[in-house]
Protein backbone atom coordinates (compact mmCIF):
# COMPACT_ATOMS: atom_id res chain seq x y z
CA UNK A 1 0.00 0.00 0.00
CA UNK A 2 1.23 3.40 -0.85
CA UNK A 3 -0.07 6.91 -1.16
CA UNK A 4 -2.03 9.06 1.23
CA UNK A 5 -2.23 12.74 2.05
CA UNK A 6 1.14 12.58 3.76
CA UNK A 7 2.88 11.12 0.74
CA UNK A 8 2.28 13.41 -2.19
CA UNK A 9 3.33 11.83 -5.45
CA UNK A 10 2.96 8.29 -4.16
CA UNK A 11 0.99 5.81 -6.25
CA UNK A 12 -2.76 6.17 -5.97
CA UNK A 13 -5.75 5.03 -8.00
CA UNK A 14 -9.04 6.40 -9.20
CA UNK A 15 -10.95 3.13 -9.50
CA UNK A 16 -9.90 -0.01 -11.34
CA UNK A 17 -11.27 -1.18 -14.63
CA UNK A 18 -13.46 -4.27 -14.35
CA UNK A 19 -12.08 -7.32 -16.17
CA UNK A 20 -14.22 -7.41 -19.30
CA UNK A 21 -14.18 -11.15 -19.86
CA UNK A 22 -15.66 -12.01 -16.46
CA UNK A 23 -17.62 -8.99 -15.18
CA UNK A 24 -20.37 -6.77 -16.61
CA UNK A 25 -20.71 -3.35 -15.03
CA UNK A 26 -24.15 -2.68 -13.50
CA UNK A 27 -24.57 0.73 -15.18
CA UNK A 28 -23.30 -0.30 -18.64
CA UNK A 29 -25.84 -0.74 -21.47
CA UNK A 30 -25.45 -4.51 -21.24
CA UNK A 31 -25.66 -4.38 -17.44
CA UNK A 32 -28.95 -2.49 -17.68
CA UNK A 33 -30.34 -5.11 -20.07
CA UNK A 34 -29.33 -7.97 -17.77
CA UNK A 35 -30.93 -6.12 -14.85
CA UNK A 36 -34.17 -5.34 -16.66
CA UNK A 37 -34.55 -8.91 -17.88
CA UNK A 38 -33.94 -10.32 -14.38
CA UNK A 39 -36.37 -7.81 -12.88
CA UNK A 40 -39.12 -8.84 -15.33
CA UNK A 41 -38.39 -12.51 -14.68
CA UNK A 42 -38.86 -11.94 -10.94
CA UNK A 43 -35.41 -12.94 -9.68
CA UNK A 44 -34.41 -9.65 -8.03
CA UNK A 45 -36.39 -10.02 -4.80
CA UNK A 46 -33.86 -8.53 -2.41
CA UNK A 47 -32.49 -5.99 -4.85
CA UNK A 48 -34.57 -3.03 -3.68
CA UNK A 49 -33.90 -3.49 0.03
CA UNK A 50 -30.16 -3.86 -0.65
CA UNK A 51 -29.96 -1.01 -3.17
CA UNK A 52 -31.38 1.26 -0.47
CA UNK A 53 -28.40 0.41 1.70
CA UNK A 54 -25.55 0.23 -0.79
CA UNK A 55 -22.52 1.35 1.13
CA UNK A 56 -18.78 1.92 0.71
CA UNK A 57 -16.47 0.04 3.08
CA UNK A 58 -14.77 2.62 5.26
CA UNK A 59 -11.41 0.88 5.60
CA UNK A 60 -9.43 -1.41 3.27
CA UNK A 61 -10.11 -4.46 5.48
CA UNK A 62 -13.75 -3.63 6.33
CA UNK A 63 -15.41 -5.51 3.44
CA UNK A 64 -16.96 -7.98 5.88
CA UNK A 65 -18.23 -5.28 8.24
CA UNK A 66 -19.55 -3.17 5.35
CA UNK A 67 -21.40 -6.16 3.91
CA UNK A 68 -22.95 -6.75 7.31
CA UNK A 69 -23.89 -3.07 7.66
CA UNK A 70 -25.75 -3.24 4.35
CA UNK A 71 -27.68 -6.37 5.21
CA UNK A 72 -28.50 -5.43 8.82
CA UNK A 73 -29.88 -2.09 7.61
CA UNK A 74 -31.66 -3.78 4.68
CA UNK A 75 -33.42 -6.04 7.18
CA UNK A 76 -34.37 -2.95 9.20
CA UNK A 77 -32.85 -4.39 12.36
CA UNK A 78 -32.74 -1.85 15.16
CA UNK A 79 -29.18 -1.79 16.55
CA UNK A 80 -30.60 -0.72 19.92
CA UNK A 81 -27.96 1.96 20.32
CA UNK A 82 -27.28 5.34 18.82
CA UNK A 83 -25.06 5.85 15.76
CA UNK A 84 -25.00 9.67 15.48
CA UNK A 85 -27.27 12.47 16.68
CA UNK A 86 -30.58 10.88 17.64
CA UNK A 87 -30.38 8.03 15.14
CA UNK A 88 -30.01 4.31 15.73
CA UNK A 89 -28.39 2.94 12.60
CA UNK A 90 -25.78 0.36 11.66
CA UNK A 91 -22.39 1.62 10.59
CA UNK A 92 -19.08 -0.23 10.72
CA UNK A 93 -17.97 1.42 13.96
CA UNK A 94 -21.03 -0.04 15.73
CA UNK A 95 -19.84 -3.57 14.96
CA UNK A 96 -17.19 -3.33 17.64
CA UNK A 97 -18.09 -6.53 19.45
CA UNK A 98 -16.97 -10.16 19.01
CA UNK A 99 -13.61 -9.06 17.53
CA UNK A 100 -11.47 -6.05 18.41
CA UNK A 101 -12.23 -3.54 15.68
CA UNK A 102 -8.57 -2.45 15.55
CA UNK A 103 -7.69 -6.05 14.73
CA UNK A 104 -10.46 -6.08 12.10
CA UNK A 105 -8.86 -2.96 10.62
CA UNK A 106 -5.60 -4.88 10.19
CA UNK A 107 -6.75 -8.34 9.14
CA UNK A 108 -10.48 -8.17 8.36
CA UNK A 109 -12.82 -10.97 9.38
CA UNK A 110 -13.37 -14.49 8.13
CA UNK A 111 -16.67 -16.19 7.41
CA UNK A 112 -17.05 -17.59 10.94
CA UNK A 113 -16.43 -14.17 12.45
CA UNK A 114 -18.88 -12.64 9.98
CA UNK A 115 -21.60 -15.04 11.19
CA UNK A 116 -20.78 -14.34 14.83
CA UNK A 117 -21.09 -10.59 14.33
CA UNK A 118 -24.35 -11.05 12.42
CA UNK A 119 -25.89 -13.11 15.22
CA UNK A 120 -24.64 -10.77 17.91
CA UNK A 121 -26.38 -7.91 16.13
CA UNK A 122 -29.84 -9.34 15.75
CA UNK A 123 -29.68 -11.57 12.66
CA UNK A 124 -29.99 -15.27 12.08
CA UNK A 125 -27.07 -16.41 9.98
CA UNK A 126 -26.04 -19.72 8.45
CA UNK A 127 -22.76 -20.14 6.64
CA UNK A 128 -21.66 -22.68 4.06
CA UNK A 129 -18.22 -23.08 2.54
CA UNK A 130 -17.90 -23.39 -1.21
CA UNK A 131 -16.58 -26.94 -0.80
CA UNK A 132 -19.76 -27.97 1.02
CA UNK A 133 -22.07 -27.26 -1.93
CA UNK A 134 -22.04 -28.34 -5.55
CA UNK A 135 -22.61 -25.81 -8.28
CA UNK A 136 -26.21 -26.98 -8.68
CA UNK A 137 -26.87 -26.80 -4.95
CA UNK A 138 -25.52 -23.26 -4.85
CA UNK A 139 -27.76 -22.33 -7.78
CA UNK A 140 -30.76 -23.73 -5.87
CA UNK A 141 -29.89 -21.58 -2.85
CA UNK A 142 -29.60 -18.53 -5.10
CA UNK A 143 -32.93 -19.14 -6.81
CA UNK A 144 -34.68 -19.76 -3.52
CA UNK A 145 -33.54 -16.36 -2.32
CA UNK A 146 -33.78 -14.25 -5.45
CA UNK A 147 -37.16 -15.40 -6.79
CA UNK A 148 -40.15 -13.22 -5.99
CA UNK A 149 -42.65 -15.18 -3.91
CA UNK A 150 -45.65 -13.12 -4.99
CA UNK A 151 -48.54 -12.71 -2.59
CA UNK A 152 -48.70 -16.29 -1.31
CA UNK A 153 -48.00 -16.72 2.36
CA UNK A 154 -44.66 -18.26 3.21
CA UNK A 155 -44.68 -21.64 4.87
CA UNK A 156 -40.96 -21.80 5.48
CA UNK A 157 -39.13 -19.93 8.19
CA UNK A 158 -37.35 -17.67 7.39
CA UNK A 159 -39.23 -17.09 4.16
CA UNK A 160 -36.31 -15.27 2.60
CA UNK A 161 -32.71 -14.50 3.38
CA UNK A 162 -30.01 -12.15 2.23
CA UNK A 163 -27.11 -13.78 0.45
CA UNK A 164 -23.56 -12.58 1.13
CA UNK A 165 -20.49 -14.08 -0.46
CA UNK A 166 -16.93 -14.39 0.81
CA UNK A 167 -14.75 -15.11 -2.21
CA UNK A 168 -11.36 -14.81 -3.84
CA UNK A 169 -11.33 -11.81 -6.16
CA UNK A 170 -8.47 -13.32 -8.16
CA UNK A 171 -10.74 -16.07 -9.54
CA UNK A 172 -12.95 -13.31 -11.01
CA UNK A 173 -9.91 -11.79 -12.70
CA UNK A 174 -9.94 -8.86 -10.28
CA UNK A 175 -6.98 -7.52 -8.32
CA UNK A 176 -6.91 -8.48 -4.65
CA UNK A 177 -7.76 -11.68 -2.80
CA UNK A 178 -10.38 -12.33 -0.08
CA UNK A 179 -13.48 -10.17 -0.23
CA UNK A 180 -17.06 -9.96 1.06
CA UNK A 181 -20.10 -8.44 -0.66
CA UNK A 182 -23.86 -8.93 -0.79
CA UNK A 183 -25.53 -10.49 -3.82
CA UNK A 184 -28.60 -8.53 -4.92
CA UNK A 185 -30.03 -10.37 -7.90
CA UNK A 186 -29.90 -13.22 -10.36
CA UNK A 187 -30.40 -13.41 -14.11
CA UNK A 188 -31.36 -17.02 -14.62
CA UNK A 189 -31.20 -16.98 -18.44
CA UNK A 190 -27.55 -15.97 -18.42
CA UNK A 191 -26.73 -17.54 -15.03
CA UNK A 192 -25.37 -14.22 -13.75
CA UNK A 193 -25.29 -12.87 -10.19
CA UNK A 194 -25.31 -9.19 -9.27
CA UNK A 195 -22.55 -8.43 -6.76
CA UNK A 196 -22.95 -5.10 -4.96
CA UNK A 197 -19.22 -4.73 -4.36
CA UNK A 198 -18.70 -2.72 -1.16
CA UNK A 199 -15.26 -1.51 -2.35
CA UNK A 200 -17.00 1.09 -4.50
CA UNK A 201 -13.83 3.19 -4.77
CA UNK A 202 -12.31 0.23 -6.65
CA UNK A 203 -14.96 -1.58 -8.69
CA UNK A 204 -18.54 -0.69 -9.61
CA UNK A 205 -21.27 -3.26 -8.89
CA UNK A 206 -21.19 -6.00 -11.52
CA UNK A 207 -22.75 -9.13 -12.91
CA UNK A 208 -20.63 -12.27 -12.80
CA UNK A 209 -21.22 -15.91 -13.74
CA UNK A 210 -22.68 -17.92 -10.88
CA UNK A 211 -20.27 -20.77 -11.64
CA UNK A 212 -17.28 -18.45 -11.40
CA UNK A 213 -18.42 -17.12 -8.04
CA UNK A 214 -18.88 -20.70 -6.87
CA UNK A 215 -15.29 -21.41 -7.97
CA UNK A 216 -14.15 -18.34 -6.05
CA UNK A 217 -15.57 -19.65 -2.76
CA UNK A 218 -12.66 -21.97 -2.07
CA UNK A 219 -11.22 -23.33 1.17
CA UNK A 220 -12.74 -21.57 4.16
CA UNK A 221 -14.54 -19.08 1.92
CA UNK A 222 -18.20 -19.50 1.13
CA UNK A 223 -21.54 -17.80 1.57
CA UNK A 224 -23.80 -16.60 4.37
CA UNK A 225 -27.59 -16.40 4.48
CA UNK A 226 -28.98 -13.79 6.85
CA UNK A 227 -32.52 -13.14 8.03
CA UNK A 228 -33.92 -11.05 10.88
CA UNK A 229 -33.50 -12.75 14.22
CA UNK A 230 -36.57 -13.37 16.37
CA UNK A 231 -37.02 -14.27 20.01
CA UNK A 232 -39.02 -17.13 21.46
CA UNK A 233 -42.29 -15.22 20.97
CA UNK A 234 -41.38 -14.16 17.45
CA UNK A 235 -40.43 -10.68 18.63
CA UNK A 236 -37.49 -8.98 16.93
CA UNK A 237 -34.19 -9.43 18.68
CA UNK A 238 -32.33 -6.23 19.36
CA UNK A 239 -28.63 -6.09 18.74
CA UNK A 240 -26.17 -6.12 21.58
CA UNK A 241 -26.58 -3.21 23.95
CA UNK A 242 -23.17 -1.68 24.19
CA UNK A 243 -21.28 -4.93 24.46
CA UNK A 244 -20.97 -8.34 22.92
CA UNK A 245 -23.73 -10.57 24.28
CA UNK A 246 -22.10 -13.81 23.29
CA UNK A 247 -18.61 -15.02 22.57
CA UNK A 248 -17.58 -18.14 20.73
CA UNK A 249 -20.22 -19.72 18.51
CA UNK A 250 -20.26 -22.89 16.59
CA UNK A 251 -21.58 -23.00 13.04
CA UNK A 252 -25.16 -23.19 14.28
CA UNK A 253 -24.87 -20.11 16.46
CA UNK A 254 -24.58 -22.10 19.72
CA UNK A 255 -21.91 -20.98 22.14
CA UNK A 256 -19.12 -23.48 21.78
CA UNK A 257 -18.52 -23.46 25.56
CA UNK A 258 -21.50 -22.69 27.79
CA UNK A 259 -19.27 -21.86 30.77
CA UNK A 260 -16.77 -19.35 29.41
CA UNK A 261 -18.37 -18.62 26.04
CA UNK A 262 -15.02 -19.18 24.36
CA UNK B 1 -31.70 17.21 19.21
CA UNK B 2 -31.24 14.76 21.96
CA UNK B 3 -29.70 11.38 22.56
CA UNK B 4 -26.22 10.12 21.86
CA UNK B 5 -23.84 7.66 23.43
CA UNK B 6 -23.19 10.03 26.28
CA UNK B 7 -26.87 10.38 27.13
CA UNK B 8 -28.26 6.93 27.77
CA UNK B 9 -32.02 6.95 27.94
CA UNK B 10 -32.36 10.12 25.88
CA UNK B 11 -34.78 10.12 22.97
CA UNK B 12 -33.51 8.37 19.86
CA UNK B 13 -35.08 7.02 16.70
CA UNK B 14 -34.79 4.00 14.48
CA UNK B 15 -35.99 5.59 11.23
CA UNK B 16 -39.15 7.56 10.61
CA UNK B 17 -42.22 6.32 8.83
CA UNK B 18 -42.75 7.91 5.43
CA UNK B 19 -45.96 9.96 5.17
CA UNK B 20 -48.25 7.63 3.22
CA UNK B 21 -50.31 10.26 1.46
CA UNK B 22 -47.33 11.92 -0.23
CA UNK B 23 -44.49 9.38 -0.48
CA UNK B 24 -44.19 5.84 -1.84
CA UNK B 25 -41.28 3.82 -0.50
CA UNK B 26 -38.85 2.60 -3.18
CA UNK B 27 -38.79 -1.00 -1.92
CA UNK B 28 -42.56 -1.34 -1.31
CA UNK B 29 -44.63 -3.43 -3.75
CA UNK B 30 -46.11 -0.24 -5.22
CA UNK B 31 -42.67 1.38 -5.33
CA UNK B 32 -41.32 -1.57 -7.30
CA UNK B 33 -44.18 -1.26 -9.80
CA UNK B 34 -43.60 2.46 -10.28
CA UNK B 35 -39.89 1.76 -10.78
CA UNK B 36 -40.39 -1.07 -13.26
CA UNK B 37 -42.87 0.93 -15.31
CA UNK B 38 -40.55 3.95 -15.44
CA UNK B 39 -37.61 1.72 -16.37
CA UNK B 40 -39.54 0.18 -19.27
CA UNK B 41 -40.68 3.63 -20.40
CA UNK B 42 -37.05 4.80 -20.52
CA UNK B 43 -37.17 7.61 -17.96
CA UNK B 44 -34.57 6.28 -15.51
CA UNK B 45 -31.44 7.28 -17.42
CA UNK B 46 -29.30 8.34 -14.48
CA UNK B 47 -30.70 5.79 -12.05
CA UNK B 48 -27.95 3.21 -12.46
CA UNK B 49 -25.05 5.62 -12.07
CA UNK B 50 -26.67 7.15 -8.97
CA UNK B 51 -27.74 3.83 -7.44
CA UNK B 52 -24.09 2.77 -7.58
CA UNK B 53 -23.22 5.72 -5.36
CA UNK B 54 -26.16 5.86 -2.96
CA UNK B 55 -24.70 7.20 0.25
CA UNK B 56 -25.70 8.13 3.80
CA UNK B 57 -24.97 11.68 4.92
CA UNK B 58 -22.36 11.46 7.67
CA UNK B 59 -23.58 14.39 9.78
CA UNK B 60 -27.05 15.86 10.40
CA UNK B 61 -26.21 18.98 8.34
CA UNK B 62 -24.27 17.22 5.57
CA UNK B 63 -27.21 16.57 3.19
CA UNK B 64 -25.74 19.00 0.64
CA UNK B 65 -22.25 17.52 0.85
CA UNK B 66 -23.59 13.95 0.70
CA UNK B 67 -25.67 14.79 -2.38
CA UNK B 68 -22.58 16.22 -4.00
CA UNK B 69 -20.51 13.16 -3.06
CA UNK B 70 -23.06 10.92 -4.78
CA UNK B 71 -23.17 12.94 -7.98
CA UNK B 72 -19.41 13.60 -8.24
CA UNK B 73 -18.76 9.86 -7.85
CA UNK B 74 -21.62 9.01 -10.23
CA UNK B 75 -19.96 11.24 -12.85
CA UNK B 76 -16.67 9.40 -12.19
CA UNK B 77 -14.87 12.66 -11.53
CA UNK B 78 -11.37 12.10 -10.22
CA UNK B 79 -10.93 14.21 -7.06
CA UNK B 80 -7.22 14.41 -7.78
CA UNK B 81 -6.35 13.67 -4.17
CA UNK B 82 -6.42 10.62 -1.96
CA UNK B 83 -9.38 9.68 0.23
CA UNK B 84 -8.06 6.63 2.10
CA UNK B 85 -5.29 4.11 1.46
CA UNK B 86 -4.35 4.40 -2.20
CA UNK B 87 -7.78 5.48 -3.40
CA UNK B 88 -8.90 8.78 -4.86
CA UNK B 89 -12.61 9.02 -4.12
CA UNK B 90 -15.13 11.65 -3.05
CA UNK B 91 -16.33 11.58 0.53
CA UNK B 92 -17.75 14.47 2.54
CA UNK B 93 -14.48 15.22 4.31
CA UNK B 94 -12.83 15.89 0.94
CA UNK B 95 -15.28 18.75 0.28
CA UNK B 96 -13.44 20.96 2.72
CA UNK B 97 -12.98 23.92 0.41
CA UNK B 98 -15.14 26.98 -0.35
CA UNK B 99 -16.75 26.81 3.11
CA UNK B 100 -15.22 25.83 6.43
CA UNK B 101 -16.39 22.26 6.97
CA UNK B 102 -16.88 22.90 10.69
CA UNK B 103 -19.33 25.64 9.73
CA UNK B 104 -21.01 23.25 7.30
CA UNK B 105 -21.37 20.81 10.20
CA UNK B 106 -23.31 23.45 12.13
CA UNK B 107 -25.41 25.12 9.44
CA UNK B 108 -25.14 23.05 6.26
CA UNK B 109 -24.89 24.71 2.86
CA UNK B 110 -27.34 26.59 0.68
CA UNK B 111 -27.92 26.17 -3.04
CA UNK B 112 -25.32 28.78 -4.03
CA UNK B 113 -22.70 27.14 -1.83
CA UNK B 114 -23.66 23.75 -3.26
CA UNK B 115 -22.98 25.03 -6.79
CA UNK B 116 -19.69 26.59 -5.74
CA UNK B 117 -18.48 23.33 -4.20
CA UNK B 118 -19.59 21.39 -7.28
CA UNK B 119 -17.63 23.67 -9.61
CA UNK B 120 -14.58 23.68 -7.39
CA UNK B 121 -14.54 19.89 -7.54
CA UNK B 122 -14.66 19.37 -11.27
CA UNK B 123 -18.35 19.67 -12.20
CA UNK B 124 -20.33 22.11 -14.26
CA UNK B 125 -23.33 23.21 -12.26
CA UNK B 126 -26.30 25.45 -12.95
CA UNK B 127 -28.82 26.30 -10.28
CA UNK B 128 -32.41 27.49 -10.54
CA UNK B 129 -34.70 28.49 -7.72
CA UNK B 130 -38.22 27.08 -7.59
CA UNK B 131 -39.65 30.55 -8.17
CA UNK B 132 -37.73 30.87 -11.44
CA UNK B 133 -39.50 27.94 -13.13
CA UNK B 134 -43.12 27.06 -13.63
CA UNK B 135 -44.31 23.55 -12.92
CA UNK B 136 -44.32 22.76 -16.66
CA UNK B 137 -40.83 24.14 -17.13
CA UNK B 138 -39.57 22.03 -14.23
CA UNK B 139 -41.21 18.97 -15.78
CA UNK B 140 -39.43 19.70 -19.06
CA UNK B 141 -36.09 19.85 -17.25
CA UNK B 142 -36.84 16.55 -15.55
CA UNK B 143 -37.84 14.80 -18.77
CA UNK B 144 -34.79 16.13 -20.59
CA UNK B 145 -32.58 14.57 -17.96
CA UNK B 146 -34.39 11.34 -17.17
CA UNK B 147 -35.26 10.17 -20.68
CA UNK B 148 -32.94 7.62 -22.27
CA UNK B 149 -31.40 9.06 -25.40
CA UNK B 150 -30.80 5.72 -27.06
CA UNK B 151 -27.86 5.36 -29.40
CA UNK B 152 -28.26 8.70 -31.21
CA UNK B 153 -25.37 11.08 -30.81
CA UNK B 154 -26.03 14.07 -28.58
CA UNK B 155 -25.95 17.48 -30.21
CA UNK B 156 -26.38 19.44 -27.02
CA UNK B 157 -23.62 20.06 -24.52
CA UNK B 158 -23.75 18.66 -21.89
CA UNK B 159 -25.87 15.84 -23.24
CA UNK B 160 -27.15 14.90 -19.81
CA UNK B 161 -27.00 16.21 -16.30
CA UNK B 162 -27.65 14.97 -12.81
CA UNK B 163 -30.58 16.60 -11.05
CA UNK B 164 -30.30 17.48 -7.37
CA UNK B 165 -33.04 19.18 -5.39
CA UNK B 166 -32.89 21.51 -2.42
CA UNK B 167 -36.35 21.54 -0.86
CA UNK B 168 -38.44 21.94 2.23
CA UNK B 169 -39.22 18.52 3.70
CA UNK B 170 -42.28 19.94 5.47
CA UNK B 171 -44.11 20.44 2.15
CA UNK B 172 -43.73 16.69 1.54
CA UNK B 173 -45.28 15.97 4.93
CA UNK B 174 -41.93 14.87 6.32
CA UNK B 175 -40.34 16.01 9.56
CA UNK B 176 -37.54 18.55 9.18
CA UNK B 177 -37.06 21.53 6.89
CA UNK B 178 -34.35 22.24 4.31
CA UNK B 179 -32.83 19.21 2.63
CA UNK B 180 -30.78 18.16 -0.40
CA UNK B 181 -30.94 14.90 -2.34
CA UNK B 182 -30.38 13.62 -5.88
CA UNK B 183 -33.32 12.68 -8.11
CA UNK B 184 -32.75 9.35 -9.86
CA UNK B 185 -35.80 8.74 -12.00
CA UNK B 186 -39.18 9.81 -13.26
CA UNK B 187 -42.42 7.94 -13.81
CA UNK B 188 -44.17 10.07 -16.40
CA UNK B 189 -47.53 8.28 -16.24
CA UNK B 190 -47.93 9.05 -12.56
CA UNK B 191 -45.81 12.22 -12.59
CA UNK B 192 -43.62 10.84 -9.79
CA UNK B 193 -39.95 11.55 -9.07
CA UNK B 194 -37.59 9.15 -7.31
CA UNK B 195 -35.72 10.92 -4.51
CA UNK B 196 -32.65 9.05 -3.25
CA UNK B 197 -32.83 10.62 0.19
CA UNK B 198 -29.31 10.83 1.63
CA UNK B 199 -30.64 10.76 5.22
CA UNK B 200 -31.05 7.02 4.93
CA UNK B 201 -31.14 6.60 8.72
CA UNK B 202 -34.38 8.61 8.63
CA UNK B 203 -36.32 7.91 5.43
CA UNK B 204 -35.91 5.28 2.72
CA UNK B 205 -35.72 6.45 -0.91
CA UNK B 206 -39.18 7.34 -2.17
CA UNK B 207 -41.36 8.43 -5.05
CA UNK B 208 -43.07 11.80 -4.70
CA UNK B 209 -45.30 13.89 -6.97
CA UNK B 210 -43.28 16.20 -9.21
CA UNK B 211 -45.70 19.06 -8.46
CA UNK B 212 -45.23 18.65 -4.71
CA UNK B 213 -41.45 18.74 -5.08
CA UNK B 214 -41.83 21.88 -7.19
CA UNK B 215 -43.91 23.41 -4.39
CA UNK B 216 -41.22 22.43 -1.90
CA UNK B 217 -38.54 24.43 -3.77
CA UNK B 218 -39.59 27.77 -2.34
CA UNK B 219 -37.66 30.97 -1.70
CA UNK B 220 -33.94 30.42 -2.19
CA UNK B 221 -34.43 26.67 -2.59
CA UNK B 222 -34.46 25.07 -6.00
CA UNK B 223 -32.57 22.57 -8.09
CA UNK B 224 -29.09 22.04 -9.50
CA UNK B 225 -28.03 20.34 -12.71
CA UNK B 226 -24.54 18.89 -12.69
CA UNK B 227 -22.41 17.47 -15.46
CA UNK B 228 -18.71 16.64 -15.70
CA UNK B 229 -16.58 19.73 -16.16
CA UNK B 230 -14.27 19.92 -19.14
CA UNK B 231 -11.34 22.15 -19.99
CA UNK B 232 -10.79 24.19 -23.13
CA UNK B 233 -9.68 21.12 -25.08
CA UNK B 234 -12.54 19.00 -23.76
CA UNK B 235 -10.26 17.30 -21.25
CA UNK B 236 -11.73 16.42 -17.84
CA UNK B 237 -11.12 19.00 -15.15
CA UNK B 238 -9.61 17.62 -11.99
CA UNK B 239 -10.96 18.77 -8.67
CA UNK B 240 -9.03 21.15 -6.50
CA UNK B 241 -5.63 19.82 -5.50
CA UNK B 242 -5.54 20.15 -1.74
CA UNK B 243 -7.07 23.60 -1.62
CA UNK B 244 -9.92 25.64 -2.96
CA UNK B 245 -8.99 26.81 -6.45
CA UNK B 246 -11.60 29.51 -6.61
CA UNK B 247 -13.63 31.54 -4.17
CA UNK B 248 -16.79 33.52 -4.83
CA UNK B 249 -18.75 32.52 -7.92
CA UNK B 250 -21.73 34.05 -9.52
CA UNK B 251 -24.63 31.92 -10.70
CA UNK B 252 -22.83 31.08 -13.95
CA UNK B 253 -19.69 29.83 -12.26
CA UNK B 254 -17.69 33.00 -12.99
CA UNK B 255 -15.66 34.39 -10.10
CA UNK B 256 -17.61 37.40 -8.86
CA UNK B 257 -14.34 39.34 -8.45
CA UNK B 258 -11.54 38.51 -10.86
CA UNK B 259 -8.90 40.11 -8.66
CA UNK B 260 -9.45 38.53 -5.26
CA UNK B 261 -11.86 35.78 -6.24
CA UNK B 262 -14.15 36.88 -3.40
> What are the domain boundaries of chain A?
23-228
Nearest by CB to B82, which of A12, A36, A204?
A12
Question: What integer pLDDT is reported at residue A238 of this predicted model?
Answer: 52
Which residues on A lie below 8 Å from B32 (Cβ)? 48
Which residues on B lie below 8 Å from A59 (Cβ)? 84
Cα of A191 to nearest chain B Cα, Å: 21
Which residues on B lie below 8 Å from A202 (Cβ)? 87
A149, closest residue in chain B (CA to CA)? B29
As a whole number of angstroms, the distance between CA B205 and CA B212 comes to 16
Cα of B134 to nearest chain A Cα, Å: 31
* ipTM > 0.95, yes or no: no
Cα dihedral sign for B78, B83, B89, B93? negative
Asked if residues B61 and B72 have their Cβ atoms less than 8 Å apart, the reply is no
Query: Mean pLDDT over residues A139-143, rounded?
Result: 96
Which residue in the list A55, A197, A206, A214 is annotated as catalytic?
A197
As a whole number of angstroms, the distance between CA A69 and CA A135 comes to 28
Other beta carbons less than 10 A from residue B2's beta carbon? 9
CA angle A112, A117, A119 (to 5 degrees): 95
The residue ranking higher by pLDDT, B122 or A260, is: B122
Q: Quick one: which of A64, A34, A225, A205 has its CA closest to A142?
A: A225
Question: What integer pLDDT is reported at residue A115 of this predicted model?
Answer: 94
Question: What integer pLDDT is reported at residue A159 of this predicted model?
Answer: 55
Nearest by CB to A13, which of B14, B52, B86?
B86
Q: What is the mean pLDDT of chain B?
A: 85
Query: Mean pLDDT over residues A168-173, rounded?
Result: 98
CA angle B161, B196, A28 (to 5 degrees): 55
pLDDT tens, residue by residue, A85-140 = 999 999 999 999 889 999 999 999 999 999 999 999 989 999 999 999 999 999 99
As a whole number of angstroms, the distance between CA A111 and CA A101 comes to 16
Is pTM beyond 0.90? Reply is no
> From the candidates B2, B26, B85, B238, which should be mutated to test the interface with A, based on the most A CB atoms within 10 A?
B85
Q: What are phi and psi of A208, to 5 degrees?
A: -145, 150
Q: Is the pLDDT of residue B257 over 90?
A: no
Nearest by CB to A2, which of B83, B84, B86?
B86
Cα of B250 to nearest chain A Cα, Å: 30
Q: Say if the Cβ atoms of A14 and B86 lie within 8 Å.
A: no
Q: Say if the Cβ atoms of A26 and B51 lie within 8 Å.
A: yes
Q: What is the mean pLDDT of chain A?
A: 85
C-alpha A94, offset from chain centre:
16
CATH topology of domain A23-228: Cathepsin B; Chain A (3.90.70)
Nearest by CB to A82, which of B12, B31, B49?
B12
Query: Mean pLDDT over residues A213-223, rounded?
Result: 96
pLDDT tens, residue by residue, B63-103 = 999 999 999 999 999 898 899 999 999 999 999 988 999 99
Question: What integer pLDDT is reported at residue B153 of this predicted model?
Answer: 46
Amino acid sequence: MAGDRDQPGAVSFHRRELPRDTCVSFASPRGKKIFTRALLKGTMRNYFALAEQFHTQQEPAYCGLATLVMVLNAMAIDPGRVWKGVWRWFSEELLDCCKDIELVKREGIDLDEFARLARCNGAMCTITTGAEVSLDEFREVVLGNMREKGAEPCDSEPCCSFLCVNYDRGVLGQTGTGHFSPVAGYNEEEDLLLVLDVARFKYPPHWVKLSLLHDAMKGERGFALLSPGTGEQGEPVLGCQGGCALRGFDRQGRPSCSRCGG
